[in-house]
Structure 1
Amino acid sequence: MPMVTVSISPVQAAGIRDAVDSGGYASSSEVVREALRLWDAARKLGEYKDEVLAGESHAGSGRCVADMFADHEAVRRRTA
């Protein structure tokens, strides 16, 4: 599998550690892959495109991959 280096905030790193420590994921790589799958699905559904067309920057919209991942985790915990 290709290796990619990224920088994340301490808060994001803590969230990844919490997801692994709680047993929801086997590794931090698994958490990041899931987040990327969610981002890709959202992008394909046009959410990102709709924000851009509406003139909102992604950062200014308050929504980011971490937000989408947090939403996904909350739903997953409620349905577990």
Structure 2
Amino acid sequence: MPMVTVSISPQQAAGIRAAVDNGGYASSSEVVREALRLWDSARKLGEIKADLLNDESVASGGRCVADMFADHEAQRRRSA
């Protein structure tokens, strides 16, 4: 698997550590991979919406990935 180095905020790093420490994820890499999958899904959904409505503002006016990830985490906690 390719290695990529990124910089994140201290709050983001703490959130990743907490997700692993709470047992929701096995590793930091797992958290980041899931976040990237959500980002990719959101991006694709935005593109589909824009194509369907032929409106460029739809793609940029959607929810941010952080909100989607927070919703996903809340749903995981509820179903655990």
TM-score range, shorter chain: 0.7 to 0.9
Structure with more contact order per residue of length (Cα contacts < 8 Å, sep ≥ 6):
1
- In the alignment, is the contact (CA less than 8 A) between 1:12 and 1:66 conserved in 2? no
Partner of 1:53: 56
Gaps of 5+ in 2: none
Q: Which residue of 1 aligns with 2:5?
A: 5
Which 4+ residue blocks in structure 1 deviate beyond 3 angstroms? Answer: 47-50, 55-58
Q: CA deviation at 1:40?
A: 0.7
Contact 2:42/2:65 (<8 A) preserved: no
Could you tell me which runs of 5 or more consecutive residues in structure 1 were left unpaired when the two chains were aligned: none
Normalised TM-score (structure 1): 0.77
Kindly indicate whether the alpha-carbon contact (under 8 Å) linking 1:16 and 1:28 is maintained by their aligned counterparts in 2: yes
Highest CA radius of gyration, 1 or 2? 2
Distance 2:79 2:70 in 1: 14
> 1:56–1:37: structure 2 CA closer, same or farther, 3 Å change rule?
closer
Deviations 1:32-64 (A, max 9, x none): 0000001111111127975x8228967xx7x43
CA-based RMSD? 2.5
Q: Which moved more, 1:20-29 or 1:64-73?
A: 64-73
Match of 1:54, SS state, is helix
Match of 1:19 in 2: 19
Contact 2:16 2:31 in 1 (8 A): yes
Q: Give the paired residue count.
A: 76
